[in-house]
Amino acid sequence: MTKYREWFAAVNRAIVAEMAVQKKTQRQLAEELGVHVVTMNRKLKDPGLFTVGELGQVCESLSINPQNPQTHGTGAN
């Protein structure tokens, strides 16, 4: 697995984990990004589909450091 793919996989794990911790739904994230919930589902299954801006917005919303996603978030703010 390339470093790029490893990073995307780590960010995806952090997003899913923080969504569970914060009890945030795909629908809520979709509304924050201004995309349809089906589109959000697709992007969560393949985080490579996120634009850089969308990924940054999701990470910010969930308190995930994209430079070090393994140390994601601090839970609900």
Rg of the chain (C-alpha set): 11
16-55: pLDDT as tens digits? 999 999 999 999 999 999 999 999 999 988 888 888 899 8
pTM: 0.79
Token representation of residue 66: 């994209």
Q: Is the pLDDT of residue 63 over 70?
A: yes
Token pair belonging to 49 = 């589909």
Q: How far is the C-alpha of 66 from the C-alpha of 55, rounded, in Å?
A: 9
Q: Which two tokens stand for residue 31?
A: 């509304």
